[in-house]
Homo-oligomer: A and B are copies of this chain.
Amino acid sequence: MSESLRGAAVIGQSGGPTVVINQSLVGYVEAALESDAITHVLGARHGVQGMMSGDLIDLGAESRDTLKRIARVPAAALGSVRLKPGKEDVARVIETLRKHEVRYFFYIGGNDTAETAHIVEQQSAELGYEMRCFHVPKTIDNDLRVTDHCPGYGSAARFVAHAFQGDDRDNRSLPGVKINVVMGRHAGWLTAASTLGRRHEDDGPHLVYLPEAVFDPQQFLADVEAVYMRLGRCIVAVSEGIHDANGKPFLQVYAEQSGSAMAGQADSHGNVQLSGTGALGDALANLVKEHFGKIRVRADTFGYLQRSFPADASPIDQEEARRVGRDAVAAAISGECTSGSIALRRVEGKPYHCDTFVTPLHTVAKHTRDMPEEFLSGHNAVSEGFRVYAMPLTGSIEPMADLAAHAVRGSAS
């Protein structure tokens, strides 16, 4: 493998957006423009969809000012796609890329995206077309294997931690039971971040339910009751992916049991829709209301704000997302390997820092990574280890201040 492979480069964005995915895009453009091996710096609209249809744009022609500003814009500036391309689709992708003399293929996304990069690599090799294929990691779910964490997660975690800090104060003002549903169908990383703004033992969330544990509605009600009896209020963080012992989503179980119309709302894969609806939060709130009778119960579903809110990104996450884009280009033109995924490795000691390295595509593709045992604590809490792991990624969450609140002499306090 020579270092001197010359040709155009193309990048695509795939899967659910994040607020730093365009940092990686701009990192790619900057590094590609600096490289002699790369003749044209291209982008495909809506990922492989644009590569199939030939919908490419010239990212090398963007001004420095536009690049600087677009890096801070949430979601995929090129457009995203949810498509696992079949063999013929990939053949069309390669046909387009060959036509534009693309020798460097980059794809920003999660594990499905890594798998697509892997397929593109294999199929272009079979066709005898030399092309280097790299995956650039991104997902608010933080569920990629190998890497210490995923760009996109730190900012989403920061948003969720801040959201719970504010909601905890709101709930102290007007007490009751408050349930907040957090994104993450398979892994609890983002829901666990709800705890990062806590300072005192009575700060919310008081209960945290992750897909890594079995969700038992009766246990849930007992947990809420215990907290409510102690504090007169209770804040609950719930992953959208909570499920029973058979792995069936709680919402599906609830809908079937209550004979609700919800039961019919499954997609073509048989999955109940979990994002972009308040159904899970409302179902849990109904359970609590039925159990307790007359207390104030509210549910919020944080929804797409978690992956798109533009005004609270993690500075660390922004920097790392930019860097994995740059380093993907550096790895590709170095020729040390012909393909791979960029991963982060935490350097021991303080201050926090991660290096990047290249891991083979197949180690990241397909399967995801749950939270490890040592980050969980019982069935409804997370460990101090998780806090140590996750806090630096958010750029740190300042604890909220409290009044000293000295009682006035002769008053009831």
Contacts and interface: CB of A to CB of B under 8 A. Distances in A.
A275 B178 CA distance: 12
Interface string A300-330: 1111110111111000000000000000000
B278 A282 contact: yes
Contact of A411 (B54, B81, B82): B54
A77 B279 contact: no
A49 to B, nearest CB: 11
A2 interface: no
A245 interface: no
Contacts of A261: 260
Nearest to A175: B79
A72 to B, nearest CB: 8
Given A162-B309, A166-B19, A278-B282, A173 B79 contact: yes
Nearest to A296: B276
A384 to B, nearest CB: 23
Interface string A155-180: 00010001101110110111000100
* Copies of this chain: 2
A118 interface: no
Given A100-B411, A173-B79, A162 B311 contact: yes
A127 interface: no
B410 A100 contact: yes
Interface in A88-115: 96, 99-100
A300 B311 contact: no
A55 B411 contact: yes
A246 interface: no
B174 A310 contact: no
A413 B44 CA distance: 10
A55 B411 CA distance: 6
Interface string A35-74: 0000010100100000001111111011100100110111
Interface stretch (A219-227, A336-344, A351-359, A396-404): A396-404
Given A63-B404, A166-B19, A309-B166, A279 B278 contact: yes
Interface in A354-368: none
Kindly name the residue among A13, A158, A172, A260 whose own CB sees the greatest number of chain B CB atoms within 10 A.
Answer: A172
A41 to B, nearest CB: 10
A80 B170 CA distance: 9
A211 interface: no
B62 A404 contact: yes
A322 to B, nearest CB: 15
Given A282-B278, A303-B300, A405-B57, A74 B410 contact: no
Contacts of A80: 173-174
Nearest to A46: B173
Contacts of A281: 277-278
B307 A170 contact: yes
Interface of A: 13, 16-17, 19, 40, 42, 45, 53-59, 61-63, 66, 69-70, 72-82, 96, 99-100, 158, 162-163, 165-167, 169-170, 172-174, 178, 260-261, 275-279, 281-282, 285, 297-305, 307-312, 400-408, 410-413
Given A57-B403, A170-B304, A275-B298, 12 more contacts: A17-B170, A40-B408, A54-B410, A57-B405, A62-B403, A70-B403, A162-B309, A166-B305, A166-B310, A282-B282, A300-B301, A310-B400
In the A-B complex, the 10 residue pairs with the smallest Cβ-Cβ separation, listed nearest first, are A278-B278, A276-B298, A166-B308, A69-B401, A300-B303, A75-B169, A80-B173, A56-B411, A76-B173, A170-B308
10 contacts: A16-B174, A61-B404, A61-B406, A73-B400, A96-B411, A162-B309, A170-B304, A277-B278, A278-B281, A298-B303
